[in-house]
Amino acid sequence: MERKQLMAEVEELLHTYCEDCLLKAAFRKEKGKSFAHKFCITTCTVGEQLRKRGEQLLK
């Protein structure tokens, strides 16, 4: 996949799912920023997709 296309996909995922995520907001308020970030990276399915795109960008 082309780098530009991967970056566009990442932007679209972030804009569509992460920008107004209620889980992220609730976790930040209740348990802190670090917990919310860790949840997004390790548990969230969107975070998993973002991680895969990031790995492809590093190749």
Q: Whole domain around residue 31: which residue ranges?
A: 3-58
Instruction: Name the domain count of the chain.
Output: 1
| Short-list 19, 56, 24, 22, CA closest to 43 | 24
Q: Give the integer Cα–Cα distance in Å for 2 and 15.
A: 20
C-alpha distance from residue 12 to each of 2, 26, 34, 46, 49 (Å) = 15, 22, 23, 11, 12
Can you point out the beta strands (E) in 1-59?
Answer: none
The pLDDT tens digits of the residues spanning 2-56 come to: 999 999 999 999 999 999 999 999 999 999 999 999 999 999 999 999 999 999 9
Tokens of 37: 């970030």
Query: pTM (2 decimals)?
Result: 0.81
